[in-house]
Structure formats: C-alpha cells, structure tokens
Chain A
C-alpha cells in the first residue's frame, strides 16, 4: 500500500498496518470534533511517525498514485476541521 505524507513524499507500507493507522485516524477525528487541539497535534505527529517508522520511502523515480494521502505535520487546527471529519482519512 502506498501512503503519501504531504510535503514528505510517498511510503510503501504493509497493509497489516492499516488497522493501527485507522485507530489513530479515528482518534484524530474525535479530538478535532472535541476541539482538543493539543491532543490532535500529538496524534497527527504519531500518525506521521508511525508511517515513516514502519514504511519504506518509495523510489524517487517512481510515478504512482497513492492509496492514502496524509496531510502535513504542520496542518493547522482550522485546516484539520476540514480534513478530519466523518471517518477521517481511512475508510472504516
């Protein structure tokens, strides 16, 4: 599975990780809905670190579409309200 972290390129991630990522994704949606900016920031950076830690950067010469696109780590809370709504980035 290919995940793009905006501004940081694409990563090859095992599909098995998707469940873990979905848990974080849902937590982020929850925090955004509760207006909890500090927790949102913490979880977003945990989402990004997990992808980078478990995934492998895609060969830079490859040109492929991503399965999931994760917003950048410096996403503002206002932007987050638009991105993390409903079921978040990953379909439940």
Chain B
C-alpha cells in the first residue's frame, strides 16, 4: 500500500466518522470546505517559506563570493611581495570556500524547483477548492438532506485524496527546508569563525576529495597569478 493510499485512508476514515456524527450533510460539506481553505493557506505559507530560504541561501552565496574575491586579492598581494606561503594559505581557504559555493548553488537550484512545484500545487488545489465550493452549493440547493448523503460522499472522496497529497507535499517541503536551514546555519558559523577545515562535514572520503579538489585549484590559481605578475 502506497504512502498516499495509507494517508488518504486515514483522511477518509476521519471523514466517515464526521459524517456519521453530523446529521446534516450540508454541515459536512461546509466543514470540508473550511478544511480545504485552511490547507490552501498552509500551501501559501509553504511557498513563502521556500522563497525565504532561497533568499537566505542567495545572500550566503553572495557573502561567500565576496570572501573569495577578497582572498584572491590577498593572494595577489602576497605574490607581489614574494610571500608564496601566504598566497598559498589564502588560496587554500579560497578553494575550500569554492567547494562550499558549488554546494550552495545546487541547494539554490533545488529550492527553485521546490518553489515551482509548490506553486503548481497551490494553483491546482485552488482550482479544486473553487470547484468544490460550486458543487457544494449545488448539492445544498438541489437535494434533500437524505438524498445529499450519497452526493456528499462522492464529492468528499476525490477531494480527500487531493488534500492528503497536498498535505504531504507541504510536510515534505518543510522537512527539506529544516535540513537546509541546519546546514546553512552551520556554514554561517564556520565562515564567521574562519575555521574551514571541517567544511564538508563528517564524511572522511568527501573531505579528502574536497581537499584534493581544493589543492589542484590552489596550484592552478598560483600558476595563473605568477604568470600575471611575471614571477
């Protein structure tokens, strides 16, 4: 049984309990409609949250780029004054930052996609909620309470599947943002402290790879600067 099957079973079970309790099916329709509006608000909040997180990462990326430029010109200064050791140090730090900047670019692209997906979800739910509202009023106007029962059940099953899907999409998006937030806060802290050694987390192989990558970029940057400065 799929994720959503399970979820929509739960939603349906809840709906059934409510419908059994409520004597007037019209009340059930209104109740479901209210829930749909609440969910729509949730999706809107989700979209805003993704946008905010993206903004935050973009700012962080800008800060990193600025720092990298700074390190680059420091290295140039060091070369000018024949201090290759200092230039190397600056370029090593720059290399570590550039690995981090790449990972930020990837995260920003991921959030971009997430935002587009949630916006599409919001649009779909919004269309369905409006369509449900019209249907609800038609049912109220055309059927007696007893007759309405069947129609109510019909219209509720379809919408509860949609609601389960949207609810889960919002929840998944929130989880993703939480993970990114934690990573981005850790990065902030590292940049502030200037301790760049632990940049790539606890994974030894990844850290080693990052080191190698950083090293080769140090060498090529060093060669470039030397050539430019005629050393």
* Residue positions of A touching B, CB distance < 8 A: 4, 6-9, 60-66, 69-72, 74-75, 79, 82-83, 89
Binds A, one of B22-30, B57-65, B76-84, B121-129: B121-129
Residues of A with C-beta under 8 A to B117: 7-8
18 contacts between A and B (CB under 8 A): A6-B165, A7-B117, A7-B121, A7-B165, A7-B172, A8-B117, A60-B123, A61-B127, A62-B128, A63-B135, A63-B158, A66-B161, A69-B4, A71-B2, A71-B3, A71-B4, A72-B172, A79-B3
Known: A7-B165, A63-B135, A63-B159. A89 touches B120 (CB 8 A): no
- B155 contacts A by Cβ under 8 Å: yes
Indicate if the CB atoms of A7 and B169 lie closer than 8 Å: yes
Indicate if the CB atoms of A63 and B3 lie closer than 8 Å: no
Nearest-neighbor residue (CB-CB) of B170 within chain A = A7
Nearest-neighbor residue (CB-CB) of A64 within chain B = B158
List 4 A-B pairs, minimum CB-CB distance, nearest first: A60-B127, A63-B158, A61-B131, A7-B169
Indicate if the CB atoms of A60 and B2 lie closer than 8 Å: no
Residues of B with C-beta under 8 A to A69: 2-5, 8, 161, 165
Indicate if the CB atoms of A63 and B121 lie closer than 8 Å: no
**B164 shortest CB reach to chain A, Å:** 9
> How would you classify the secondary structure of chain B's contact residues: helix, strand, loop or mixed?
helix
**B179 shortest CB reach to chain A, Å:** 12
Residues of B with C-beta under 8 A to A62: 128, 131
- B199 contacts A by Cβ under 8 Å: no
**A80 shortest CB reach to chain B, Å:** 10
Which parts of B135-179 form the interface with A (CB within 8 Å)? Answer: 135, 155, 157-159, 161-162, 165, 168-169, 172
Per a CB cutoff under 8 Å, which of B127, B132, B169 touches A6? B169
**B120 shortest CB reach to chain A, Å:** 7
Residues of A with C-beta under 8 A to B162: 63
Residues of A with C-beta under 8 A to B124: 9, 60
Cα of A60 to Cα of B2 in the assembled complex, Å: 23
Residues of A with C-beta under 8 A to B123: 60
Indicate if the CB atoms of B131 and A9 lie closer than 8 Å: no
Per a CB cutoff under 8 Å, which of A65, A72, A74 touches B158? A65
Cα of A19 to Cα of B134 in the assembled complex, Å: 38
Indicate if the CB atoms of B132 and A63 lie closer than 8 Å: yes
Indicate if the CB atoms of A61 and B159 lie closer than 8 Å: no
Highest count of chain A CB atoms <10 Å: which of B3, B121, B131, B158? B3
- B130 contacts A by Cβ under 8 Å: yes
Residues of B with C-beta under 8 A to A9: 120-121, 124
